[in-house]
């Protein structure tokens, strides 16, 4: 029999997560993803109890253009890490339909080997329209997974050209995967994602060997004209193959080097403190928007306001002011 949330207390979920019970870890994550007010209340109580056990993992964001081979790369690096004794969790955020909110959620089938690894945990989550390709509850999910004992968290983002700032604001290291053929790629990718990168990895090096050197030169040139985010780290450009595993061990060695430098300089701790502040403001905005659109006075006036905006009867600024006035007057 499958237990529902109502069959499990907050303490039972906390104990299950701490014990590494995979089924209860999954239910805990589903709880924080739920929009149900009662579920959200219980989720926050659970997270508060798990928070002291979180924070020890290495958090790595992985992004890149569609077709770059993120899933194959993650399976290869994840399997390498579990083979070295690490416990690896993958948060694979799939593209959601702009019309229906649906998503493919196919990462477990694309990462069959890693999905069957007892030291790995894969959680596909729909992006649900959140800018940056990050599911609304990804930060809370990281807390759960760290409390469950996972020491490495890999967050795969949608990588469809949206702002990837949100994932950079919740990880210790932001890795951008690119393909050889740099000329076309540099034209198609926004400058912003390279500004966020702690490393650029040119993937599929085994397939595009002839273009590899030129691609690496062009990516290095692109990074050199940008201002480094850290005074102690300049983002390197490396070559790798998610399919053959070539260069993957060396890539991870650089990520570990970055961790050591950031810890020694105090930048890792400062970065996490800043991320918590960003999380605070993001949650405030999210809750205020939910409260605004759930307000009866706003709902009663919304259809009329929308019609007037479409007809050009009122300006958008006046429409916003009228809706805010209705909201504030109802309090």
Residue 156 phi, psi (nearest 5): -90, 125
Is the pLDDT assigned to residue 106 strictly greater than 70? no
12 lies in the same domain as 150: no
**What is the rounded CA–CA span in Å between residue 51 and residue 37?**
21
Asked whether residue 300 is assigned to any structural domain, the reply reads yes
Q: What is the CATH number of the domain that holds 165?
A: 3.40.50.300
180 lies in the same domain as 291: no
Counting the structural domains of the chain, the total is: 3
Asked whether residue 209 is assigned to any structural domain, the reply reads yes
- The predicted-structure confidence for 208-241, as pLDDT tens digits, reads as follows 677 788 888 888 888 888 888 899 999 999 999 9
Contact by Cβ (8 Å): 255, 199: yes
63 lies in the same domain as 45: no
Q: Which residue has the higher pLDDT, 236 or 204?
A: 236
Asked whether residue 112 is assigned to any structural domain, the reply reads yes
Q: What is the mean pLDDT of residues 249-258?
A: 98
Q: What is the CATH number of the domain that holds 28?
A: 1.20.5.170
| Per-residue pLDDT, 21 | 96
Last residue of a domain, one of 215, 234, 265: 265
64 lies in the same domain as 35: no
Mean pLDDT, the chain, integer? 86
Contact by Cβ (8 Å): 72, 166: no
> Which helix (H) or strand (E) segment is 70 a member of?
helix 70-83
Is the pLDDT assigned to residue 184 strictly greater than 70? no
169 lies in the same domain as 30: no
Domain containing 295 equals 278-329
Asked whether residue 63 is assigned to any structural domain, the reply reads yes
144 closest CA partner among 13, 300, 4, 246? 13
Last residue of a domain, one of 265, 289, 310: 265
203 lies in the same domain as 296: no
Last residue of a domain, one of 235, 265, 295: 265
Q: How far apart are the first and last CA of the chain?
A: 45
Asked whether residue 141 is assigned to any structural domain, the reply reads yes
298 lies in the same domain as 157: no
Rounded (5°) CA angle 226-229-234: 70
Q: Which residues contact 298 (CB under 8 A, 6 or more apart)?
A: 292, 323, 326, 327, 330
Asked whether residue 271 is assigned to any structural domain, the reply reads no
231 lies in the same domain as 309: no
Is the pLDDT assigned to residue 160 strictly greater than 60? no
158 lies in the same domain as 302: no
pTM of the model: 0.86
**What is the rounded CA–CA span in Å between residue 22 and residue 122?**
10
Asked whether residue 66 is assigned to any structural domain, the reply reads yes
Tell me which of 20-24, 173-177, 206-210, 214-218 is least confident.
206-210
pLDDT band at 103 (very low <50, low <70, confident <90, very high): very low
Beta bridge partners of 36: none
59 lies in the same domain as 45: no
Asked whether residue 58 is assigned to any structural domain, the reply reads yes
295 lies in the same domain as 284: yes
Is the pLDDT assigned to residue 249 strictly greater than 90? yes
91 lies in the same domain as 113: yes
DSSP string, 239-284: E--TTT-TTHHHHHHHHHHHHHHHHHHTHHHHHHHHHHHHHHHHHH
């Amino acid at each position: 029999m499958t237990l529902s949330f109502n069959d499990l207390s907050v303490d039972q979920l906390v104990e299950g997560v701490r014990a590494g019970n995979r089924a209860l870890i999954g239910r805990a994550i589903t709880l924080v993803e739920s929009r149900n007010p009662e579920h959200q209340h219980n989720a926050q109580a659970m997270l508060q109890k798990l928070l002291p056990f979180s924070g020890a993992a290495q958090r790595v964001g992985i992004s890149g253009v569609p077709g770059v081979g993120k899933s194959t790369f993650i399976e290869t690096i994840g399997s390498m890490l579990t083979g070295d004794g690490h416990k690896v969790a993958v948060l694979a955020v799939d593209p959601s339909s702009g019309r229906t909110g649906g998503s493919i959620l196919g990462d477990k089938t694309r990462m069959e080997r890693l999905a069957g690894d007892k030291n790995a945990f894969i959680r596909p989550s729909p992006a649900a329209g959140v800018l940056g390709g990050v599911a609304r509850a990804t930060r809370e999910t990281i807390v759960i997974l760290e409390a469950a004992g996972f020491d490495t968290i890999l967050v795969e983002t949608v990588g469809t050209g949206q702002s990837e700032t949100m994932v950079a604001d919740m990880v210790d290291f932001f890795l951008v995967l690119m393909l050889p053929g740099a000329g076309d790629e540099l034209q198609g990718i926004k400058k912003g994602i390279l500004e966020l990168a702690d490393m650029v990895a040119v993937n599929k090096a085994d397939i595009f060997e002839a273009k590899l050197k030129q691609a690496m030169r062009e990516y290095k040139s692109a990074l050199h004209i940008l201002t480094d985010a850290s005074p102690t780290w300049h983002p390197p450009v490396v070559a790798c193959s998610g399919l053959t595993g070539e260069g993957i061990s060396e890539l991870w060695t650089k990520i570990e080097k970055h961790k050591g430098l950031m810890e020694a300089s105090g930048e890792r701790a400062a970065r996490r403190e800043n991320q918590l502040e960003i999380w605070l403001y993001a949650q405030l905005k999210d809750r205020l928007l939910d409260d605004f659109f759930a307000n009866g006075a706003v709902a009663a006036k919304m259809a009329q306001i929308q019609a007037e905006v479409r007809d050009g009867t009122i300006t958008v600024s006046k429409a916003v002011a009228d809706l805010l006035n209705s909201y504030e007057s109802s309090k």
